Amino acid sequence: MVSTKNPRVSYGLAILEAAKKCDEIVVLTCDLMGSFQTSKFAEIYPNRFFNLGVAEQNMAGIAAGLATCGKVPFVNTFSCFSSMRCLEMLRTDIAYPCLNVKVVSCHAGISLGPGGTTHHSTEDLAIIRSIANFTLIVPGDASETYRAIMACVDYPGPVYIRLGRQDMEDIYDGETDFQVGKAKELREGNDITIIACGYMVYEALKAADRLISQKISARVLNLHTLKPLDEEAILKAAWETKGIVVAEEHTVIGGLGSAVAELLSKKRPTPVRMVGIKDTFCGIGPVQDLMIHHGLTDDEIFKQAMDIARLSF
C-alpha cells in the first residue's frame, strides 16, 4: 500500500500500478503533470500519455473517442474545469453513450484557497450527480484514493473521482477494502449518525470523539460513493439512530446532503442537518481559514449533532 498522505501522490502511484495490469489505460492531461503526479507515467508509457495543453473540452472529446476504440482513458484536470468547462462533453460525449472514461479531478472544494472563486469547485458533486450513467466517488484519505483508482479500472462506465490538493489525515488504522457504492462504517453508534465524504470524514471522526464527552454515541459513515448511493447503510442508520448530520466540502445544495435527504424523505423521514457551504461563493484566502469561515470543521458537526440531540433525547 502507498505511504503518503497526499491524494494526488496516491493517484500518481495508483495509475502507474494500474497501467501494468491493463494495457488499455491511457492518461490525458492539460499541462498538469505536476499536479497529478503523472510525470513518471509519461516517462514510462510515452505512447499512452497525452498532454493536450490548456484545452480541457478538447481533452474530454478525445477521451470519448479513445474509449470507443477500447481504451480506458483517465482524464486529469482541476475539478472546476472538468465539471463546468467540460460539462457538455461529459454529459453528451461520455455519459450519454456510457463510455468507459474515468475523470480524475483534483483541487476540489476550496482546496485551492488563494485561487479564489474561479478555481474553487463547490458545485461539482451536484453537477455530476445529476448526470445519468456517472459514478461519483470522493475518497476519504490518500490510501482510499489509491484503492478507489484501482477499483475503477475494472468498473464499467463513466466515473468521476474527486480529489483535494492538501494532505489528508488517515481515517483507517490499517488495510481495508474498497467497494464502489458501499459505505464504510468507521465508528459504531446508537444515538446519532454522522455521514461524510472526502476531507470532512476526518472532521466527522473528531466530532464523534467530542460527542462522547456529552454521553452521545455517534456512528460515523464514510460515504465515499455518492452515486450509486448506499441506500442500505443510510436507511439502517436512520432506523437505528435518532438523527443524521451530513458533512461535505461542497455547497449544501445538490451534493451529499441532498442525496441523503432525498432518500430519507421517501423511505424514512429523519431529522437531518447539513454541514457544508451555504448558498454563497467562498472568496480568497488560506484554505484552513476558509474552512473555518464556512463551518467545514468538527466544531460545526458537533454543534449540529447537539442540535439533533436536544430535539430527540
User: Residue 218 forms beta bridges with which residues?
Assistant: 192
Report the C-alpha gap between 79 and 82 in whole angstroms: 5
Report the C-alpha gap between 218 and 237 in whole angstroms: 10
123 is catalytic: no
Based on the number of CB atoms within 10 Å of its own CB, is 158 exposed (0-12), middle (13-18) or buried (19 or more)?
buried
Sheet arrangement for strand 244-251: 184-187, 218-222, 192-196, 244-251, 272-277
Write down the catalytic residue from 43, 56, 185, 248: 56
End-to-end alpha carbon distance in the chain? 43
Q: Are 14 and 137 in contact (CB under 8 A)?
A: no
Q: Are 195 and 244 in contact (CB under 8 A)?
A: yes
Provide the 3-class DSSP secondary structure of residue 273: strand
Report the C-alpha gap between 153 and 148 in whole angstroms: 9
- Which one, of 59, 87, 84, lies nearest residue 73 by Cα? 59
The total of other beta-carbon atoms located within 10 Å of residue 20's CB is 10
- Alpha-helix runs per DSSP H in 70-141: 79-80, 87-88, 124-129
Amino acid at the residue 181? G
Q: Are 201 and 177 in contact (CB under 8 A)?
A: no
Q: Which residues are catalytic, by number? A: 56
